[in-house]
């Protein structure tokens, strides 16, 4: 389907729901060719999201799961009626292939030097506790875990070190480390929602009224083990420094809400950082791989870095 055909189809579907409010679909957003900026007749900005187009069957399956997962999480958040967090509202869904969502205002939270840590903590608590009721079948849950489970992804990074980077000794160290961490960090007694993609600065916003906002829930999942993943992702800057004030507010809530005897803060920080190194995103500096070999893979160096950035 061409872009013009897509835009025409979306405009027609929108008019059926909002006949007195025509929609104008603009060009795709920079760096996100599957996301289109649109505007209604009142000047309200909305976003059209489509499935990413890939030729490989495995990648197509992954993107389909992510697309459906995002819709599911938006439904959960809508039912939960979060009070201290701004999230998009789904305004229109078209044949399970496209949906239109409202805009989340604000600037990237990672770029804000002055924030209200307590307000951000309240917003993240809202998100974490909006678990809702999942509609996925057992098979869908299996596929979802295969692509987006944090534990599975950690072992995929280890395999990449073996077969792609040819670093067998490093891979063995990481395999043992991951195995020990998963063993030590037991599942909590209750479920919670994890965004799973907050190291990317695009996905966490901060508005002028001090309210945090989240977008892009394609990798979000309900979890019971990794209580600190989102905390570390949002507090860690791209130069691998922790925003101590924000971390202090967020970790206090985590310690209060969850059984501290079932998770280890050092382990959870290590996992969050190891995962980001494994993602190797274009937005992360190339030297993050050096951080793996020089810090994460050396227990003494990691302990010093942890105490400097996350020690309380």
- Give the model's pLDDT for residue 80: 86
Residue 197 forms part of a structural domain: yes
Going by their DSSP bridges, the two strands 32-40 and 23-29 should be labelled as: antiparallel
Q: What string of H, E and C letters represents the secondary structure of 190-237?
A: CCEEECCCCCCHHHEEECCCCCEEECCCCCCEEECCCCCHHHHHHHEC
- Give the span between the Cα atoms of 257 and 192, in whole angstroms: 11
Residue 281 forms part of a structural domain: yes
Q: What string of H, E and C letters represents the secondary structure of the chain?
A: CCHHHHHHHHHHHHHHHCCCCCEEEEEEECCEEEEEEEEECCCCEEEEEECCCCCCHHHHHHHHHHHHHHHHHHHHHHHHCCCCCECCCEEEEECCCEEEEECCCCEEHHHCCCCCHHHHHHHHHHHHCCCCCCCCCHHHHHHHHHHHCHHHHHHHHHHHHHHCCCCHHHHHHHHHHHHHHHHHCCCCCCCEEECCCCCCHHHEEECCCCCEEECCCCCCEEECCCCCHHHHHHHECCCCCECHHHHHHHHHHHHHHCCHHHCCHHHHHHHHHHHHHHHCCCCCCCCHHHHHHHHHCCHHHHHHHHHHHCCC
Residue 273 forms part of a structural domain: yes
- Give the model's pLDDT for residue 250: 97
- Give the model's pLDDT for residue 285: 52
Residue 214 forms part of a structural domain: yes
Which is nearest to 188 in space by CA: 228, 218, 235? 228
Give the domain extent around 170: 107-309
Segments of the chain with pLDDT less than 50: 282
- Strand arrangement of the beta sheet that strand 90-94 belongs to: 23-29, 32-40, 45-50, 98-102, 90-94
Residue 180 forms part of a structural domain: yes
User: Which CATH number characterizes residue 284's domain?
Assistant: 3.90.1200.10
- Give the model's pLDDT for residue 144: 63
Residue 229 forms part of a structural domain: yes
Residue 115 forms part of a structural domain: yes
Number of domains within the chain: 1
- Give the model's pLDDT for residue 282: 47
- Give the model's pLDDT for residue 55: 66
Which is nearest to 128 in space by CA: 188, 175, 170? 188
- Give the model's pLDDT for residue 146: 59
Residue 204 forms part of a structural domain: yes
Beta-bridge partner residues of 100: 48, 92
For 231-282, the pLDDT digits (tens) are: 999 999 888 899 999 999 999 999 999 999 999 999 999 999 998 887 665 4
Average pLDDT over the chain, rounded to whole? Answer: 86
- Give the model's pLDDT for residue 260: 95
């Amino acid at each position: 389907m061409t872009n013009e055909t897509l835009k025409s189809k979306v405009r027609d579907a929108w008019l059926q729901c909002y006949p007195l409010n025509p929609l104008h679909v603009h060009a795709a957003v920079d760096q996100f060719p599957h996301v289109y900026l649109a505007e209604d007749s009142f000047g309200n900005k909305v976003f059209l999201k489509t499935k990413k187009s890939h030729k490989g069957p495995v990648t197509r399956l992954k993107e389909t799961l992510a697309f459906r997962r995002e819709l599911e999480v938006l439904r959960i958040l809508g039912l939960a009626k979060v009070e201290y967090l701004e999230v998009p509202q789904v305004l229109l869904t078209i044949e399970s292939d496209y949906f239109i969502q409202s805009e989340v205002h604000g600037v990237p939270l990672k770029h804000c030097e002055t924030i209200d840590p307590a307000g951000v903590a309240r917003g993240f608590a809202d998100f974490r506790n909006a678990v809702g009721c999942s509609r996925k079948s057992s098979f869908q849950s299996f596929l979802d875990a295969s692509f987006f489970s944090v534990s599975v992804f950690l072992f995929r990074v280890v395999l990449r070190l073996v077969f792609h980077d040819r670093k067998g000794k490093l891979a063995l160290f990481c395999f043992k480390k991951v195995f020990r961490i998963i063993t030590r960090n037991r599942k909590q007694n209750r479920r919670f929602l994890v965004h799973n993609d907050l190291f990317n600065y695009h996905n966490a916003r901060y508005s002028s009224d001090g309210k945090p906002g989240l977008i892009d829930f394609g990798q979000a999942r309900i979890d019971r083990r990794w209580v600190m993943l989102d905390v570390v992702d949002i507090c860690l800057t791209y130069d691998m420094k922790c925003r101590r004030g924000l971390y202090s507010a967020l970790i206090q809530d985590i310690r209060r809400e969850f059984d501290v005897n079932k998770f280890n803060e050092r382990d959870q920080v290590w996992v969050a950082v190891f995962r980001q190194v494994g993602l190797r995103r274009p937005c992360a500096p190339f030297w993050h791989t050096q951080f793996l070999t020089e810090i994460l893979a050396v227990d003494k160096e990691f302990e010093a870095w942890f105490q400097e950035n996350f020690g309380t």
